[in-house]
A and B are shown apart, each in its own frame.
Chain A
Amino acid sequence: MSHADWEGQAKFTIDGREVVGYKGETILEVARREGFDIPTLCYHEALEPYAACRLCLVEVTTGRRTKLVTSCIYEVAPDIEVKTSTERVIRNRKAVLELLLARAPDASLIQKLAREYGIEKSRYPLVLNDKCILCGLCVRACHEIIGASAIGFIDRGTERHVGPPIERLSERCIGCGTCVYICPTAAITLKDVSKPMPGVHKHPYDYEAPDCSICGEMNLESESKVGEK
């Protein structure tokens, strides 16, 4: 119940160093401000945290209990001890990355992160081969920032994927390209079809763009490489 009983500032430690956080801040926010390196895939400072990739795991000790938590949603409190790279943290981050590499072997960001953790090749069989890692950044950006809610998650379990509601061409898409820009693995592409029609989703990850209704021009590259820059 430690969350509720304090106001203002919290002094605590990250990897032994004393830091200060404010009520409502997450470990990740404080850690990044203080220059600690915690990898993330589903976190974006402009969006509600989602805690799905599980890469930002850290160990937190409160009182006598030590537990593994996702730092992107764990709110700071006085006197907690945070450790960002214990054996348990690294082991679980590696497990996540190896699973993601098996899902998206062609995504350069995943390859790079996996390599940083010493994984060249996943031991798991190739089941899907999908660049989309379901981090939900595009879905949240479209909903929270653009307000269009033109894409969402469809199905559950291993069938889960991103697409327009009921997988029909979405009238709600305004062709802004935010999803393309925010996607860390370049799984979404935008095509300039230069047709006078509203933005349509042809394929869950191929979004065709309309002419801009204001300036009449559409000037986007056909393959965004955001994640690979």
Chain B
Amino acid sequence: MIKSLADLEKVASEGERRIHPPHLKVMVGAATCGIASGAKDVIHAVEETLKQFGNGAASARTGCIGMCYEEPLMDILKPGWPRITYSHVKPEQVAEILSAVKEGKVVKEGLLGKIEEIEDYTRNTRYRYPLENVPPEIAAVENLFGLEFTAKQQHIAMRNCGIIDPESIEEYIARGGYRGLYRVLTEMKPDEVIDMVDASGLRGRGGGGFGTGRKWRYCKAAEGYRYVICNADEGDPGAYMDRSLLEGDPHSILEGMLIGAFAIGSQQGYVYVRAEYPLAVKRLEKAIDDARVHGLLGSDIFGTGFNFDLRIVKGGGAFVCGESTALMASIEGKPGEPRAKYVHTVEKGLWNQPTTLNNVETWANVPVIAVRGAEWFASIGNPESTGTKIFSLVGKVNRAGLVEVPMGITLREIIYDIGGGIPEGKKFKAVQTGGPSGGCIPANLLDLEVDFDRLWEAGSMMGSGGMIVMDSETCMVDVAKFFTEFLKDESCGKCVPCREGLSQTHEILKRITEGEGQESDLDLLEELGKAMQDSSLCALGGSAPNPVLSTLRFFRDEYLEHIKNKRCPAGVCTALINFEINENCTGCTLCVRNCPVDAITGERKQVHVIDQDACIKCGVCLDVCKFDAVTRNTRNTHSGGKSQ
């Protein structure tokens, strides 16, 4: 049982010994992203090898450090050396790498970088690895935090991801964990906690950007049995920052919720996690159990008389269940539909009681603020959008992964400096931010500072932090259609503007991509989009027109090309394009053999021909041809085909 600061320190020194043991330790990134790229086999190989080594060598699993493009990642800690990281590790390499390390030697292949010191944001210290007898190969290798990918990042919410074993409460405490809770419970009044969070400028990371301190204040002012909830529904396709925090550092979320609960006067909390996140659920369960065992959840926490407990509720995985009122309905066992009421959930939320709902990342920031204070947090980022934000940087970018950056960084810095630019030297076209109902931002706004308000002004939004980079081969009408289709399926279908509006928007976009659009369609789409924003019941419908409206705003010409010239400039919309084989063809028959519908004919050493009526425009021939002999026409040159 932890009842005092001394108890915390005792557990911390135990954790410290686990994080930096006096013997060899090997860590493998084992969040869902790591496991997807083969971490399980690597872990197995590590365990087998270490078993043979005997004498105290240990292996551990960590969360995701964000370098998903380098996974599986293996980190080696050898006393006297900096921490070293291997990337793209294959199980069969493990024994060789580890045996070399044991002998004081280094396998250079796959060695990505080293870490000589690790920032501890909570306690404002740095851990420096004691160095002696460092082999020259390691001395020469780059510092991981100096790599382009990491240099502009600042891991505050992700402070422990990839550093600690997420299943060890001791390691969390060794990195300053539960100090914020201790400070708040023993030194502060609830209102002072709210003032502090307010002054820190922390705004909700779940999408809306509502002031967290303000939300807490409203909730505390309402009469009733108050609840706190963590929104871990994360329904945006392609976004996984919340999952990474849950998998990599679950205690940071528990501690944040404990602090919030104390501030508003709540004794019961819920974590609403999507059921598709089994590993996150498992680690949360372990964290909750451990916190209970150590007396950090339950009654009389730190002997202050403060009681709080937490339950996990698994959600069915509908996108709309991330909306606050739908989420609460779902916890109550009702259908996950937004509720029609003009009373805010801070007054009447779960079971009609005052409820504070915050996002995973919002909660994870709270403990650090509690230790370091509001001023420190507010000094990071922009004045109106303080702190950092995690983005999942994906799409046509060289280094995809999770990035946590200070607010106010430009899109260009994220995409080019951190993400390494567009692969194959292609041109950047747009970046889609904010999840499915976000917007697309064009190249001329690359120097936009990323914060809540700047993204709104650009017709997009922060959302939960999705960032999809698109190159010149992306058709913006097709993109709008894609997101509209997602939202059409995920809308709850209750209210008319959202349900019927999405259905009609999708239908109109479909006909434009098929070359059947009319110029008046564009005004109609805009008129409809504005009505949906104005009159939908919940924010899903209210933000659903963003993909269409933002692409219409920045890429109207591309729409008009589809409508007036029946042309898809990016060469994507299948009804408007076709493929032809040109005189470069050497007759190698590679395309003939690869075409899935046998639409290509031609003898060996003869120029081949595509049967335009049979062709399904999958583009495989273009991809496999080694002689540049396949042309993609951005206007369908085949008249008389199906698209007529």
Contact = CB atoms under 8 A, between A and B. Distances in A.
Nearest to B521: A123
B504 interface: yes
A100 B496 CA distance: 7
B342 A69 contact: yes
Contacts of B342: 3, 69, 73-75
Interface in B418-477: none
B496 A92 contact: no
Q: Say whether chain B's binding surface is mostly helix, strand, loop, or mixed.
A: helix
Contacts of A157: 488-493, 499, 502
Nearest to A60: B342
A4 to B, nearest CB: 7
Nearest to A123: B524
A153 interface: yes
Interface string B606-630: 0000000000000000000000000
A156 B318 contact: yes
B497 interface: yes
Interface in B368-408: none
B488 A158 contact: yes
Interface string B199-223: 0000000000000000000100110
**Chain B interface extent, by class:** 35 or more
Contacts of A55: 496
A1 B489 contact: no
Contacts of B527: 95
A102 B503 CA distance: 11
Interface string A96-123: 1001101100000000000000000001
Interface stretch (A6-14, A124-132, A168-176, A198-206): A124-132
Interface stretch (A29-37, A46-54, A189-197, A214-222): A46-54
Given A68-B535, A127-B504, A156 B320 contact: yes
A54 B499 contact: no
Contacts of B504: 99, 102, 124-125, 127
A51 B493 contact: no
B642 interface: no
B236 to A, nearest CB: 16
Interface string B480-499: 00000000111111111101
Contacts of B534: 68, 88, 92
B415 to A, nearest CB: 32
Nearest to A95: B531
B535 A134 contact: no
A126 B304 CA distance: 65
Residue in A52, A88, A125 whose Cβ sees the most chain B Cβ within 10 Å: A52
A103 B347 contact: no
Contacts of B536: 54
Contacts of A73: 340-342
B340 A50 contact: yes
Interface string A126-151: 01100001101000000000000000
**Chain A interface extent, by class:** 35 or more
B144 interface: no
Contact of B507 (A50, A57, A127): A127
Residue in B488, B499, B528 whose Cβ sees the most chain A Cβ within 10 Å: B499
Contact of A52 (B318, B340, B343, B503): B340
A100 to B, nearest CB: 6
B335 interface: yes
A159 interface: yes
Contacts of B522: none
Contacts of B479: none
B261 to A, nearest CB: 22
B10 interface: no
A185 interface: no
B537 A52 contact: yes
B497 A54 contact: yes
B511 interface: yes
Residue in A51, A133, A157 whose Cβ sees the most chain B Cβ within 10 Å: A157
Contact of A54 (B218, B335, B528, B537): B537
Contacts, number: 115
A70 interface: yes
Contact of A4 (B340, B347, B499): B347
Nearest to B520: A123
Contact of B503 (A1, A95, A156, A158): A158
B499 A158 contact: yes
B539 to A, nearest CB: 14
Contacts of A156: 318, 320, 489-493
A160 interface: yes
A194 B543 CA distance: 50
B276 interface: no
A91 interface: yes
Contacts of B289: none
Given A69-B342, A75-B342, A159 B535 contact: no
A155 interface: yes
B500 interface: yes
Interface string B265-282: 000000000000000000
Interface string A62-84: 00000011100111000000000
Contacts of B347: 1, 3-4
A138 B494 CA distance: 14
Contact of A160 (B493, B508, B511): B493
Contacts of B497: 54, 92, 95-96, 99
B491 A95 contact: no
B501 interface: yes
A4 B536 CA distance: 25
Nearest to A158: B503
A133 B343 CA distance: 27
A55 B221 CA distance: 34
A54 B501 CA distance: 13
Nearest to B486: A157
B537 A91 contact: no
Contacts of B318: 156
B503 A127 contact: yes
A62 B342 CA distance: 13
A152 to B, nearest CB: 8
Interface string A1-31: 1011000000000000000000000000000
Contacts of B496: 52-55, 96, 99-100, 133-134
B343 A158 contact: no
Contacts of A102: 500, 504
A207 B343 CA distance: 38
Contacts of A155: 493
A77 B293 CA distance: 49
Contacts of B524: 123-124
Nearest to A101: B500
Interface in B310-363: 318, 320, 335, 340-343, 347
Given A96-B497, A156-B492, A157-B490, A54 B343 contact: no
A142 to B, nearest CB: 15
A95 B528 contact: yes
10 smallest CB-CB distances across A and B, nearest first, come from A160-B493, A51-B340, A95-B531, A99-B500, A92-B535, A158-B503, A157-B491, A124-B504, A52-B495, A157-B489
30 contacts: A1-B218, A1-B347, A3-B342, A51-B495, A54-B496, A55-B496, A57-B535, A69-B342, A70-B537, A73-B342, A88-B534, A91-B531, A92-B535, A96-B535, A99-B497, A100-B496, A100-B500, A103-B500, A125-B507, A133-B496, A134-B496, A134-B499, A153-B335, A153-B493, A155-B493, A156-B320, A156-B489, A157-B502, A158-B488, A158-B499
Given A124-B524, A127-B503, 9 more contacts: A3-B343, A3-B347, A57-B535, A74-B342, A95-B497, A99-B496, A124-B504, A124-B507, A156-B491
Interface of A: 1, 3-4, 49-55, 57, 68-70, 73-75, 88, 91-92, 95-96, 99-100, 102-103, 123-125, 127-128, 133-134, 136, 153, 155-160
